[in-house]
Amino acid sequence: MKVAVLGAGGRMGSMVCGAVDADRDLELVAAVDPARAADVVPGLSQATLRYSRDLPDMVAAGATVAVDFTTPEAVRANARYCAAHGMHLVVGTTGMGEAGEAELSRLYPKGGPLGCVVAANFAIGAVLSMRFAEMAAPWFETVEVIELHHDGKVDAPSGTALRTAERIAAASAEWAPDPTTSETVRGARGGVGPGGIHVHSVRLRGLVAHQEVLLGTVGETLTIRHDSIDRSSFMPGVVLALKAVAGLPGLTVGIDLLLGL
């Protein structure tokens, strides 16, 4: 499968380039990043590959699937271009919101010839932790989600935290009321997410991506925590999605299905 990486010059994009290059079943044919056009893509085992400036370069290179780690503003235009040119798509960009996901669903309809996998988190452990929280939810009376990320992340809360809250809320709608009647510091209780679940965001230099789900009931608490201590933790999930997307027509949200969950 011939792969094009969008946002290839960024930290995540460069790691995706390396992961694709290292996999015997994938071929990196284009690395698109206007800011680094004409620079040599570093660290690849294959012959010299230079960053491309424009999206048509990946079509000219024969890419059949694109993986997007750009920005919420760019990903929708990129998706329109990929769909129009018959390319499968894997999206790791978060912060698109419901409108962005709805557009991906229109561009990649069920029953159509193309597949699109969009995931808030490609780390296998993060996906499992969401499933564990979903399983635990009916057995507890209170829950809160705390997500912690590096200080370069611009959206809050994270897509993973929102997706986690959605899944917990779908698993149980019976939660004890919040006892807070006043906040000495506004926002101290965090944001209120799906199902009324409180979500807290931390942005701190030195972190990568971390999340805790705290569940409590009479006499006990359960903490489900996942830590990505390096961005390499996302690569197995990205590679898995790239290999599977052509066999998944339409929009697939998350990589749970790919893991048999």
Residue with tokens 């206007």: 34
The 3-state secondary structure of 137-180, one letter per residue: HHHCCEEEEEEEECCCCCCCCCHHHHHHHHHHHHHCCCCCCCCC
Element (H, E) at 18: helix 11-22
| Nearest CA-CA partner of 161 in 217, 113, 94 | 94
Active-site annotation holds for 153: yes
Which of the 8 DSSP states describes residue 41? P
| Nearest CA-CA partner of 103 in 134, 82, 122 | 82
Do residues 41 and 258 touch, judged by C-beta distance below 8 A? no
Catalytically annotated residue among 149, 198, 200, 226: 149
Alpha carbon distance 260, 233 (integer Å): 19
Do residues 162 and 98 touch, judged by C-beta distance below 8 A? no
**Long-range contacts of residues 171-177, Cβ cutoff 8 Å, at least 24 apart:** 171/134, 171/135, 171/137, 171/138, 172/137, 172/138, 172/140, 174/141, 175/141, 175/142, 175/143, 176/141, 176/142
Active-site annotation holds for 210: no
Let me know the angle formed at the C-alpha of 51 by 11 and 13, rounded to the nearest 5 degrees.
Answer: 20
Catalytically annotated residue among 2, 85, 88, 153: 153
For residue 165, which amino acid is it? A
By annotation, the residues acting in catalysis are: 149, 153
